[in-house]
Structure 1
Amino acid sequence: MKSVIISIHGRVQGVGFRWTTARLTNRLQVAGWVKNESDGSVTVRAQADETTLHAFIEALKKSPTPYAKVRNITVTNRNVEDFKKFTITD
């Protein structure tokens, strides 16, 4: 099990990015959360096995919604927590 914080910059707010990310996590079985940041970026806390996380990050780079334009992604390792599901937060 691996846990990361993913910071996504670009046109990622107001385009359904959080909702389509949540659908992607359900398909890949990733736990954690996603939220909009005041600077216009989106932060994702994601937890899954390493192979699944890699696939998830690659999908985020391509954007889970056609309306977003991902410019940059930063991934930072975190300690594993006891996430049971994936949620969308404000």
Structure 2
Amino acid sequence: MTKMVADQIGISGIVRNEDDGSVYIEAVGPTDKIDAFIAAVKRSPSPSGKVDTCKLEEDANIENYISFRVTN
């Protein structure tokens, strides 16, 4: 679902499931698209996609991804 939303909005980056059950996302794009992406992910209709907390960090050194992909 996260990749589908990123592709629809035009965000590049990565998403992966962590061993502790959390999800790690690196998202690259204009601020308005990042805001829309975060809002859409938080609204996930899937019970397994429920967002309890969201920690955001801005990182100027993040890789400039070409597309959005799921990693391990």
Which interval holds the TM-score relative to the shorter structure?
Answer: 0.7 to 0.9
Alpha-carbon RMSD:
1.2
Q: Kindly indicate which of the two structures has a greater share of residues assigned to strand.
A: 1
Choose the corresponding residue for 2:33, options 48, 52, 61. Answer: 52
Shift of 1:62: 1.5
Q: Which residue of 1 is the match for residue 54 of structure 2? A: 73
* Residues in 2 aligned to 1:70 and 1:81: alpha-carbon distance in whole angstroms: 25
TM-score of the two chains, using structure 1 as the length reference: 0.71
AA aligned opposite 2:46: P
CA deviation profile, 1:14-72 (whole Å, cap 9, x unmatched): xxxxxx10000110010000001111100000000010001111111222x42322111
79-88 or 23-32, larger mean C-alpha shift = 79-88
Any gaps of 5 or more consecutive residues in structure 1? 1-19
Distance 2:50 2:31 in 1: 25
TM-score, length-scaled by structure 2:
0.88
Structure 2 unmatched ranges of 5 or more: none
Spell out the pairing of 1:22-37 with structure 2 (5 A cutoff): 22-37=3-18
Q: Which has the higher helix share?
A: 2
- One-letter code of the match for 1:85? S
Say which SS state the counterpart of residue 53 (structure 2) adopts.
strand
Letter aligned with residue 87 of structure 1: R
